[in-house]
């Protein structure tokens, strides 16, 4: 079997709940998604039910081994291989300290050809019902629902073409907030900027607000149950070099310049130059050697 339809593997994973995928129970990476300068509505380590939360990430790539080698060399993350039973396709993951927070899978496992990407997964109560809500709200279907190692999942896009996954997790344990993915940025074109908040409200029940990071900088944000999930960024116009629409994870680092140097040395590229968001921190949009995009982030006041 592949990553899909895995009753035997689910039993194996349940038996090692303190490691591998059930480290998802200590993940919900973006569930800790609070701007570092803002007081969170829930403290790190607080358990919650996962519906409406970003609970997992997956690097979907053209070369799994090269991607693993790259991220390990840049961030000093550790590889974890999910337990398998006969016939299961191997599933590699990465962890920081004791927290498994991202899987790494070949695009071909989903019948996709590219480009490579980081895909954020939002937990829902019913994938098929949420998929219907996506279509009704003006989104798109990229990959019809399948059973995955993590849960029943479908890949979709919002009206701005930013991609994400809907997932009904196999495991119902509570999730908690964890680093290193501490925030998300929804990158959209100017023409779609007004469409995304209603879309995420209708599909996930998310709210929206404007946060003043300083006297000179405000950003619209998406929220769930009062907790901030992602900031919304309008891309530069045609030819502005801002990259494609995307729902990008912010990977927090201690030293942005040193991380950028390792990123470049490993074959990664800088998509959008470093920007300082006063009261928030420094951010850079980058892509790994296979083209998967993410944001590198150093919070304000941290070795700046």
Give the closest residue to 2 by CA, choosing from 120, 96, 84. 84
Are 140 and 266 members of one domain? no
Distances (CA, A) of 240 to 63, 248, 265: 30, 18, 26
Domain boundary among 169, 194, 224: 169
Are 197 and 245 members of one domain? yes
Q: Tell me which residue has tokens 């779609």.
A: 192
Are 160 and 186 members of one domain? no
pLDDT at 207 over 70: yes
pLDDT at 109 over 80: yes
Characterise 97 by phi-psi region: left (phi > 0), alpha (psi -120 to 50), beta (else): left
Q: How many domains does the chain have?
A: 2
Q: Is residue 78 part of a domain?
A: yes
Q: Is residue 304 part of a domain?
A: no
Are 13 and 162 members of one domain? yes
Q: How far apart are the first and last CA of the chain?
A: 48
Q: Is residue 175 part of a domain?
A: no
Q: Tell me which residue has tokens 């969170």.
A: 40
Q: Is residue 56 part of a domain?
A: yes
Are 44 and 140 members of one domain? yes
Average the pLDDT over 144-169 and give the result: 93
Are 244 and 146 members of one domain? no
Write phi, then psi, for 109 (nearest 5 degrees): -65, -20
Distances (CA, A) of 43 to 40, 183, 221, 293, 297: 6, 15, 19, 28, 20
Are 193 and 117 members of one domain? no
pLDDT per position as a tens digit, 221-280: 999 888 888 999 988 765 445 678 999 999 999 999 999 999 999 999 999 999 888 878
Alpha carbon dihedral 40, 43, 48, 53, in 10-degree steps, equals 40
pLDDT: which is higher, 294 or 19: 294
Q: Measured in whole angstroms, how far is the alpha carbon of residue 208 from the centre of its chain?
A: 19
Q: Is residue 2 part of a domain?
A: no
Are 160 and 275 members of one domain? no
Are 38 and 161 members of one domain? yes
Are 284 and 200 members of one domain? yes
Q: Looking at 118-127, 178-187, 232-241, 263-272, which range is the least confident one? A: 232-241
Residue 217 belongs to domain with CATH number: 3.10.180.10
Range of the domain at 113: 7-169
Q: Is residue 176 part of a domain?
A: no
Give the closest residue to 139 by CA, choosing from 151, 152, 118, 122. 122
Are 41 and 164 members of one domain? yes
Q: Is residue 203 part of a domain?
A: yes
- Number of residues that make up the chain: 304
pLDDT per position as a tens digit, 20-75: 333 333 333 333 333 323 323 334 444 446 788 898 999 999 999 999 999 999 99
Alpha carbon dihedral 115, 239, 253, 261, in 10-degree steps, equals 90
> What gap in Å lies between CA 181 and CA 57, rounded to an integer?
9
Domain boundary among 107, 134, 169: 169
> What gap in Å lies between CA 248 and CA 298, rounded to an integer?
15
Instruction: Tell whether pTM > 0.85.
Output: no
pLDDT at 159 over 90: yes
Are 162 and 264 members of one domain? no
């Amino acid at each position: 079997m592949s990553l899909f339809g895995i009753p035997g593997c689910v039993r194996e994973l349940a038996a090692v709940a303190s490691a591998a995928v059930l480290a998802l129970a200590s993940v919900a990476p973006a569930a800790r998604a609070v701007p570092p300068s803002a007081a969170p509505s829930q403290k790190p380590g607080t358990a919650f039910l996962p519906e409406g939360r970003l609970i997992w990430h997956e690097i979907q790539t053209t070369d799994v081994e090269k991607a693993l080698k790259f991220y390990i060399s840049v961030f000093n993350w550790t590889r974890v291989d999910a337990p398998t039973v006969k016939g299961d396709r191997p599933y590699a993951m990465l962890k920081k300290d004791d927290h498994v927070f991202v899987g790494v899978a070949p695009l071909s496992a989903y019948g996709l050809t590219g480009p490579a990407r980081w895909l954020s997964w939002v937990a829902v109560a019913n994938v098929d019902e949420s998929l219907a809500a996506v279509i009704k709200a003006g989104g798109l279907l990229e990959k019809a629902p399948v059973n995955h190692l993590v849960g029943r999942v479908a890949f979709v896009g919002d009206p701005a073409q930013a991609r994400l996954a809907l997932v009904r997790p196999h495991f119902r344990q509570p999730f908690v907030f964890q680093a290193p993915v501490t925030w998300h940025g929804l990158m959209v074109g100017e023409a779609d900027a007004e469409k995304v908040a209603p879309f995420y409200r209708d599909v996930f029940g998310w709210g929206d607000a404007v946060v003043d990071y300083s006297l000179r900088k405000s950003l619209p944000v998406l929220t769930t149950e009062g907790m901030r999930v992602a900031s919304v960024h309008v891309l530069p116009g045609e030819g502005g070099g801002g990259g494609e629409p995307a729902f990008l994870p912010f990977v927090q680092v201690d030293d942005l310049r040193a991380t950028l140097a390792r990123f470049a040395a490993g074959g990664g590229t800088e998509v959008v130059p470093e920007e300082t968001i006063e009261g928030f921190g420094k951010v850079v949009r980058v892509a790994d050697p296979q083209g998967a995009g993410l944001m590198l982030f150093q919070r304000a006041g941290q070795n700046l």
